[in-house]
Amino acid sequence: MSRIKPVERSDDRILVSDMHEFERGERGRPDLGTLHESGRDIPVYRRCDVLVVGGGPSGTAAAVAAARLGAEVIVLERYNHLGGLSTGGLVIWIDRMTDWEGRPVIRGFAEELLGRLPPEAIAGPGTEEWGSKDPARAAHWAQRTAAFHGIVTWSPTIDPERLKLLSQEVVLGEGARLAFHAWAALPLLEEGVVRGAIFESKGGRQAVRAKVVVDATGDGDLFARGGAAFESDIESHDIHHSMNTAWLLGGADMARWIAFRTSQPEQFAQFMARGREELGAFERPFVSWRNDVALYMGPRQSGFSGLDVDDQTEVEVRSHRLMGAHLDFYRAHAPGFENAYLMLSAPQLGVRHSRRLVGAKKMLRAHWPTAQVFDDEIGVTPSVSPKFPNISIPYGCLVPEQLEGLLACGRHISCDPNSHGFMREIPQCWITGQAAGAAAAIAANRGIAPRAVDIAELQSALLGQGVYLRARDTQQVGNAGPIPMASAV
Ligand SMILES: Cc1cc2nc3c(=O)[nH]c(=O)nc-3n(C[C@H](O)[C@H](O)[C@H](O)COP(=O)(O)OP(=O)(O)OC[C@H]3O[C@@H](n4cnc5c(N)ncnc54)[C@H](O)[C@@H]3O)c2cc1C
């Protein structure tokens, strides 16, 4: 049985979808003690300048950014594709790339990648509509993932297979090397400094030597095992910590479904009430890149850990069952779903949050209203609501407070739980990935530690790669030197 845990709309969050608390299945794991693993020689697979571990949005951006600065790059990815949750996780709704004025602030690699998708692989409002407050346009796009607070945004839906293929070709096109089916197990530590990683594959245990490692695993696998401090506290009223496996139903007619939702509000409310009653955990579909494909990114299950194999399994099993139950219910009762079928459950489990780095700096809720532009700004993110200005992303939130030789990017960067609510989203992961990749290449090229990278050089490299930055343009740069240790912003 599940209990609905409604999310209340507040200044700190934008999504108001329900979460569900389930009774955790019986674990019954006895304490069987530990085994000792004896030392052994590990073959070195290859060496490189920058090793990117994890090929999700952040890892893909990091690999391309580093390769474009002349670094030899290897990407280790445990599955068979790039894109992480944005492809294999079926998180095909790319959240807001524009701010509340309609200006595209998530630019650089993110903008380039979406721009290179074939037109039939991406759906959303045209540039002329971004920022529109026209009630009719906003009402239209609110049903299609692209309007919030009555403002049209650039937050398209994409074809996951196209994004996989494009990401792969862009990475290979820049000369980076891909190693799929390679699960990184440990950082390679020499005198406390990360100098590569040890991974497992069908070929056994092997190592990659690297000048700098970018941890883009989403769960901080490398920095945690390297001894860097991390946090895992959550904002329990937000969905940012809940887990589920997304799925697609084919054979739908989303135009009919939207017409039903918008033109028959009472019947829609009855439909939702009946769904909740019969299924318990019940979810509404989102549009996708095609009218005949419906996207389900819930029911969201709270109270589980993305680091516990039993929790992961339980969430997968329940999500698969819920997918079957939703198909039956929607076919029987939802206009537009009479001919629907199970198209795909996501190959990658939907983990929104597990570990967050304790970095040299930290993004905090307290900064949202301030409009502060950090000296070491490496990107700009739209805020969660029009009440707040755009938010500056500092380089220091990618740099571990103590561990050397490694940078973090993507959904495990240094931030508080509220800021994690949006910094974990795909556009922001592209931004922090691009910055980590560029910084890693600069550090490798110069033979210096990532924390010693000159901020002006990094910002100049990012501007050269099309990233939107304000610090240097607005003369708000203070002393753009290396970041100090442990100076939390
Ligand atoms: C259900 C759900 C709905 C969401 N909805 C949205 C949304 O609507 N819009 C939005 O923008 N964002 C959304 N998000 C958030 C977003 O999808 C993720 O936060 C984002 O994809 C994170 O990118 P990343 O690169 O940090 O990590 P990931 O996308 O998790 O990629 C990490 C990659 O690293 C690989 N990896 C992990 N560990 C290892 C290892 N040890 N060795 C080798 N490879 C490894 C993984 O296989 C994966 O490919 C949602 C997330 C979920 C789960």
Core vs surface per residue 315-350: b (16+ CB within 10 A) or e: bbebbeebbebbbebbbeebbbbeebeebebbebbb
Residue 451 reports pLDDT greater than 70: yes
**What pLDDT does 25 receive?**
82
77 lines ligand 1 (CB under 6 A): yes
Mean of pLDDT over the chain? 93
What is the percent of the chain where pLDDT is above 70?
93
For the entire predicted model, the pTM comes to 0.95
| Nearest by Cα to 374 from 426, 404, 414 | 414
**What phi, psi does 360 have (nearest 5°)?**
-60, -30
In the chain, the domains with their CATH numbers are: 44-117+159-239+354-489 (3.50.50.60), 243-351 (no CATH)
Note if the bond before 265 is cis, omega within 30 degrees.
no
**What pLDDT does 482 receive?**
36
- Helices (H) and strands (E) in the chain — how many of each? 11, 23
pLDDT per residue as tens digits for the range 14-46 = 666 788 888 888 788 889 999 998 989 999 999
Write down the residue that tokens 């709309």 correspond to: 9
* Helix (H) or strand (E) segment spanning residue 391: strand 391-394
- Residue 180: CB atoms within 10 A of its CB come to 15
93 lines ligand 1 (CB under 6 A): yes
The residue whose C-alpha atom lies closest to atom 52 belonging to ligand 1 is: 350
The residue whose C-alpha atom lies closest to atom 49 belonging to ligand 1 is: 84
Residue 104 reports pLDDT greater than 60: yes
pLDDT per residue as tens digits for the range 280-290 = 999 999 999 99
CA distance 32 to 51: 36
Taking the centre of ligand 1 as the mean of its atom positions, its distance from the CA of residue 57, in whole angstroms, is 7
Taking the centre of ligand 1 as the mean of its atom positions, its distance from the CA of residue 84, in whole angstroms, is 5
247 lines ligand 1 (CB under 6 A): no
What is the percent of the chain where pLDDT is above 90?
87
pLDDT top residue among 307 and 471: 307
Q: Band of the pLDDT at 11, cuts 50, 70, 90? A: low
**What pLDDT does 8 receive?**
63
Give the nearest ligand 1 atom to 409 CA: 26
Taking the centre of ligand 1 as the mean of its atom positions, its distance from the CA of residue 253, in whole angstroms, is 28
Residue 272 reports pLDDT greater than 90: yes
91 lines ligand 1 (CB under 6 A): yes
421 lines ligand 1 (CB under 6 A): no
pLDDT per residue as tens digits for the range 339-365 = 999 999 999 999 999 999 999 999 999
**What pLDDT does 428 receive?**
98
CB hemisphere CA count around 340 (13 angstroms): 32
Give the nearest ligand 1 atom to 298 CA: 1
**What pLDDT does 186 receive?**
97
Q: Band of the pLDDT at 127, cuts 50, 70, 90? A: very high
pLDDT per residue as tens digits for the range 166-183 = 999 999 999 999 999 999
Query: Hey, what are 393's tokens?
Result: 């992303």
pLDDT per residue as tens digits for the range 249-261 = 999 999 999 999 9
Give the nearest ligand 1 atom to 300 CA: 1
Q: Determine contact, residues 74/180, Cβ cutoff 8 Å.
A: no
- In Å, what is the CA distance from 453 to each residue of 47, 142, 146, 228, 484? 22, 42, 37, 19, 11
Query: Hey, what are 153's tokens?
Result: 């945004």
pLDDT per residue as tens digits for the range 64-98 = 999 999 999 999 999 999 999 999 999 999 999 99
3-class state of residue 210 by DSSP: strand
For 237-253, what is the mean pLDDT?
A: 94
Query: Hey, what are 411's tokens?
Result: 């959904």
